[in-house]
Structure 1
C-alpha cells in the first residue's frame, strides 16, 4: 500500500473566501486565518502531510494521475474555524454526474470516482491534523485573565 508520487505544489488559499460557501464544511466561526495557514503549509506542513498520507493511502497512481490532470489539488482550502477552535478544510472532488460531463477519459467507474473523492478527503484531514499537531498553537495566544487590567 502507499503511493510513490511527487509532492504537489501547495494550494493558494483565498483569504477573502467565506468557508460558508462549502457544502462539505460546517463552519461556525468567521476568523479564517488563511494567510497564517498558508505560511505553515509552505513551511513544511503540506509536504509533511503529503508524505504521511501517501505512505498509507490506498489511492492508486492512475487515480492520482487523474487528480493531477484535473488540477484538483489547487482546489483544496484550509481555514481556521474560530468557533470550534480547529482547522477546517474543503477537499475537492469529482461530481456525481462525472459520466454525463465526461470529466476525464480515464474515469471508467464509480469506484474510481469514489476512491479519488475519499482519498482527497482523507488527505485534507491529514493536512489539518499535521497543521494542528505540529505547526500551529493559537490557543497559546489566548490572553491570561491575570494579565488583564483591573477596572
Structure 2
C-alpha cells in the first residue's frame, strides 16, 4: 500500500527528558543532541524517511487526515541516546480512552486507532534508522559510572 498525501513539515524537537516517557529506556547522558537531529531532519532525513514510510505504510488517506487534524506529527520526539549509541524516539499516539474523549469525528473504531498508532511507530523507527545510517557520524562521549557492578 502507498500513502499519497502532502508530506508534513518535520517536527520541531523540544527539550523533554526522555525518561518521562513510559516506554523510554535512556540511561546516563542528558545531552540529547536535539538541535543537531532537528537540523538533520530539515536537511533531508525527514524527506527520505517520509518517502520510505509513505511507500509502504498501511495508514490510508482517511486515517492520515486524522493524524493531520490532531497534529500528531509535530508531537514526535527524537533524541540521541549516548549510552546505547542510537537515536531514540517517542511516537505520538491515540490514547486508549479515545472514544470517551471524542478526539475526532472520523475516529470510529479500534482498527483505525490501531492503524494510526502502528503507523506512527513505524514512521518513528524509519526516521531513527535514516538518521543513524545516513546522517550521524559522531562518536558517543558516554562514560559509564565507576560504580557499576561487575558481572563477570
Please confirm whether the aligned pair reaches a TM-score higher than 0.5, indicating the same fold.
yes
After superposition, the Cα gap between the structure-2 partners of 1:140 and 1:109, relative to the gap in structure 1 and judged at 3 Å, is: closer
Partner of 1:32: 32
User: Structure 2 matches for 1:13-92, cutoff 5 A?
Assistant: 13-14=13-14, 16-29=15-28, 30-92=30-92
After superposition, the Cα gap between the structure-2 partners of 1:140 and 1:62, relative to the gap in structure 1 and judged at 3 Å, is: same
Q: Is the 8 A contact 2:89 2:124 kept in 1?
A: yes
The reply on whether 1:109 has 2:109 as its aligned counterpart is yes
Deviation of residue 27 (structure 1)? 1.2
* Larger relative helix fraction: 1
Aligned counterparts of 1:141 and 1:101: Cα–Cα separation in 2: 44
Aligned counterparts of 1:85 and 1:140: Cα–Cα separation in 2: 6
Aligned counterparts of 1:23 and 1:60: Cα–Cα separation in 2: 28
Deviation of residue 140 (structure 1)? 8.6
Aligned counterparts of 1:6 and 1:28: Cα–Cα separation in 2: 37
SS at match of 1:52: helix
Matched residue pairs, number?
141
Partner of 1:149: none
Aligned counterparts of 2:23 and 2:91: Cα–Cα separation in 1: 8
Deviation of residue 139 (structure 1)? 2.5
TM-score by length of 1: 0.89
Which of structure 1's runs of 4+ aligned residues deviate more than 6 A? Answer: none
TM-score by length of 2: 0.89
The reply on whether 1:122 has 2:118 as its aligned counterpart is no
